[in-house]
Amino acid sequence: MRARLDIAYDGTDFSGWAVQPERRTVAGSILAVLEQVLGAGVATGLTVAGRTDAGVHATGQVAHVDLPDPVWAATGPTLLRRLAGLLPGDVRVTALAEAPPEFDARFSATFRRYEYRVTDAPWGAEPLRRRDTLAWPRSLDLERLNAAAEGLHGEHDFAAFCKRKENATTVREVTRLEWHRVVADGVLVATVQADAFCQAMVRSLVGAMLVAGDGRRPPEWPASQLTRRERSSAVTVAPPHGLALVAVGYPEEPGALAARANATRRLRTPAS
């Protein structure tokens, strides 16, 4: 059977999601505990919706894993609580449930939504939020930030904002990109949603918008970079600790999961 895992983590002390030799990663930590509970090699095919980079957080990450039916029948009712007792404190599986066999955490997703937190308060980030909030040394104008965001909406080739992978497309559709200020604590939050993101894309978009928001670039400048067909050296990648994956969307209609997965594979998987 296929199990869906909803996952949250503080990415500060992880070298990203993906398993890496001799490095502490989110996937590595989860797999180690699954092996401890179920036995080596019992849980297979751990697949995630968004492979977050080192230092990036998540409150709404989604993954799937395949388990033998007898194992799920025996351990399913208690597995979530057992994981909570063994996982390190900076990663939690917040929900665990049987998923349709055609569910694919990565390819069935219709959108990923991220938030980026930044403060322009002269004293910097609040001590309890220093791990997930960037302290910006200049005042930021909300209207300028949203004007910069407006030009990045829609489907574009975001090559200027991506670390390109061979034979992979950098065309993405940004369906939501907006800033709001949390008046109580002076924090500005960018919400960025797209069908998918290429590596470093969200942090590059944020970096480009921040220099427009503090007045060093005109609001039209981030969108002007869309004419480039390679990574722009003028775009600064914002630090990872302000970024969190907050939601992943999936089709609600019965039978739509497989169709969505097939369509995404054709679009995102390089031709052989």
The catalytic site residues sit at 53
Backbone angles phi, psi at 159, to 5 degrees: -55, -35
What does the alpha-carbon distance between residue 62 and residue 67 come to, in Å, rounded to a whole number? 17
- Cα distance between residue 178 and residue 162, in whole Å: 20
Torsion region of 26: left, alpha or beta (phi above 0 gives left; psi -120 to 50 gives alpha): alpha
CB 94 within 8 A of CB 50: no
3-state secondary structure 222-268: HHHHHHCCCCCCCCCCCCHHHEEEEEEECCCCCCHHHHHHHHHHHHH
CA distance 47 to 34: 14
The amino acid sitting at 125 is: A
In angstroms, the CA 164 to CA 18 distance is 18
